[in-house]
Structure 1
């Protein structure tokens, strides 16, 4: 069944941007960016909801199962984020090719194939590592019983790693053609499928076996596989996609394009990994302070993570928009695409900062009832953390969209260095110094995270401003 015409219009508007945007170029760019980013934002939210569903359902099963699944998911997500970064290279490569030549069928097909080849390559060692989740978690100091339970969850879950990455490659393909709503539809179906499958396999409902933790991991893997197959059906049957014949002669080697995916993708993977691991380290530091700080941190970071989905979607969209202009050799279009998404992202995050400043108790109250005695110490801490989160909202949006702008120019290595310096040297260094050296505890850790995000955002935008001097722009023929 075809999507409503507004999604097709979004694709046509973007592909014909140079011809259609003479009268109101900035307004048309904002419309094209919003039409591309909206489905991507919804897809990101849907992807997050799949893992969140596992946690909620296992919370119904019991506290021990919830704790085990939490540490298991954290281990799995660390590897998943790295793989996501690797296959994200497909997006700027395809956007550049489609910008240079609108019907770049062969080049686009090469990129999709080799991005999936890269996903297969990284999946094999990840499977080997995750198969030994129990000894790894015990080595990290986790309780032996929890480590064993977490491994029972991770072993079936890990086989969803490859279909999850392959799905993301196909999502990048439909986004590069600026018709990402199909990915949204498949993601929403995946959320529903995951909830039904996991409920049945965890609790033994609807005639399914009661498998507990193992069932949760198995259900999620089945869901990821179904999502990939769903996208595969779309790209092989939809009239706009089928002519690319993405899976034809899939086994053919293409080492130059394979190396290009790794050249661009590995720095993106490391950049995302540096960001995720610094927040994981913050959880560990909160644990050293106490359970109250850890609970408050979990609430504040959940709220901040939810708002982050919007600039993340805009970051993915601006990579495509800048990449299309880059492929056309359109320097004005590059600037317009980048600054439009940047303005949209920072404006949204500024609005979220105002909300966090003005109604923090209402936000925390969604997660905790302050009337319950054991929650009374957590609420004021969570509110104080949200005050810092409000400050770094704009920085977080700026660094995310800024990274997407640079990826559209196929600039990924230097941003990786920025991430290492900003997140780990400035951010983590400041967090440890303020939190433990000056005794600011959890509030100091959050200030450190904000400092890291601020530095990275300034460095990213500074590099974008100097893009011509750094010869990042397409050179005149």
Structure 2
């Protein structure tokens, strides 16, 4: 909760430092508990729990963190949260369902790939781990742009939303496109790091080629979905993401993977179509201004709560400058 509050106020460096500190501590405690004391899995679990607790310390040590804790102790946040519990559910439930259903369909697809053969599911897992090199930074960019557009909406600067979104799209496309080229050029080298079986290597290479093809679509999808969630248009983004994941990829996996005999490669073609269509629909919503009513509603609620709020607003200075130009 403290980390997300700091994100919302534009402070991303403090959570980063806290996470780095916790990771270093986790590594040290793992070495102590597992290697030195021989506690095994219990030691690993204890190390993770202690590191997670330690991560909270630098978060609460900041001025904003102390202000949030002060509200908790005084009961201010509790009263405000109870008064707005319906709003919390309205925004959080679609996102929670989206994550649950997305994980569920992904587990279903992994099971389908396992039915195709051990090489298919092994190639899927290897290629997926490699693709994360591109996915995770794009996801971080989406988190950042979600905060920025949320601040812009709160400040009444709706015209900044599409501008910020386009800049984020350019950055995401540049990075994911470069990753796609890298995956395509070094596919066989990467595959050789994970496997020795020639057939498995060939399958991994094919998946990396397909993954290279959908990198830019994935980045555009992440940015557009994050922008819509940031301005309060949560339900639309959730429905499109879940609908495309359940209605497109499983069908293409069945048709191309099982019926056409393409195996896991056919399933990954489903990812290409899913991400492309979802990105097009989300960006259409963004560019056409379909999110504006949701943003206006969120801003009205924010203004209604303003007298109860003591945490300082934090619209970035460069956004304010752009708004006045």
Give yes or no for the alignment of 1:272 onto 2:99. Answer: yes
Structure 1 partner of 2:287: 465
- 8 Å CA contact retained: 1:427, 1:453: no
Indicate which of 185, 205, 221 corresponds to 2:17.
185
Distance in 2, matches of 1:386 and 1:424, equals 23
Distance in 2, matches of 1:382 and 1:278, equals 22
SS at match of 1:247: helix
- 8 Å CA contact retained: 2:285, 2:291: no
**Alpha-carbon distance, 1:387 to partner:** 0.7
Structure 1 partner of 2:73: 248
Indicate which of 305, 308, 318 corresponds to 2:135.
308
Distance in 2, matches of 1:211 and 1:198, equals 9
- 8 Å CA contact retained: 1:428, 1:452: no
Indicate which of 177, 192, 215 corresponds to 1:393.
215
- 8 Å CA contact retained: 1:357, 1:387: yes
**Alpha-carbon distance, 1:286 to partner:** 1.8
Count of residues in correspondence between the two structures = 296
Structure 2 partner of 1:231: 59
Q: 1:431 to 1:466 in 2, by over 3 A?
A: same
TM-score normalised per structure 2 = 0.84
- 8 Å CA contact retained: 2:91, 2:232: yes
Q: 1:472 to 1:263 in 2, by over 3 A?
A: closer
Residues 114-263 of structure 1 aligned to structure 2 (within 5 Å): 169-203=1-35, 205=36, 208=37, 210-232=38-60, 234=61, 238-244=62-68, 245-250=70-75, 252-253=78-79, 254-263=81-90
Distance in 2, matches of 1:399 and 1:466, equals 16
- 8 Å CA contact retained: 2:34, 2:41: yes
SS at match of 1:440: coil
Runs of 4+ in 1 over 6 A off after TM superposition: none
For structure 1, list consecutive stretches of 5 or more residues without a partner in the other structure.
1-168
SS at match of 2:194: coil
**Alpha-carbon distance, 1:307 to partner:** 1.1
- 8 Å CA contact retained: 1:431, 1:449: no
Distance in 1, matches of 2:100 and 2:133, equals 19
Distance in 2, matches of 1:231 and 1:408, equals 22
Structure 1 partner of 2:173: 346
Structure 2 partner of 1:335: 162
- 8 Å CA contact retained: 1:364, 1:379: yes
Indicate which of 142, 151, 167 corresponds to 1:324.
151
Q: 1:281 to 1:306 in 2, by over 3 A?
A: farther
Q: 1:356 to 1:289 in 2, by over 3 A?
A: same
Q: Greater CA deviation, 318-327 or 245-254?
A: 245-254
Distance in 1, matches of 2:228 and 2:290, equals 12
- 8 Å CA contact retained: 1:274, 1:420: yes
- 8 Å CA contact retained: 1:395, 1:454: yes
- 8 Å CA contact retained: 2:249, 2:273: yes
The structure carrying a bigger helix percent of its residues is 2
Structure 1 partner of 2:304: none
- 8 Å CA contact retained: 1:396, 1:453: yes
Structure 2 partner of 1:383: 205
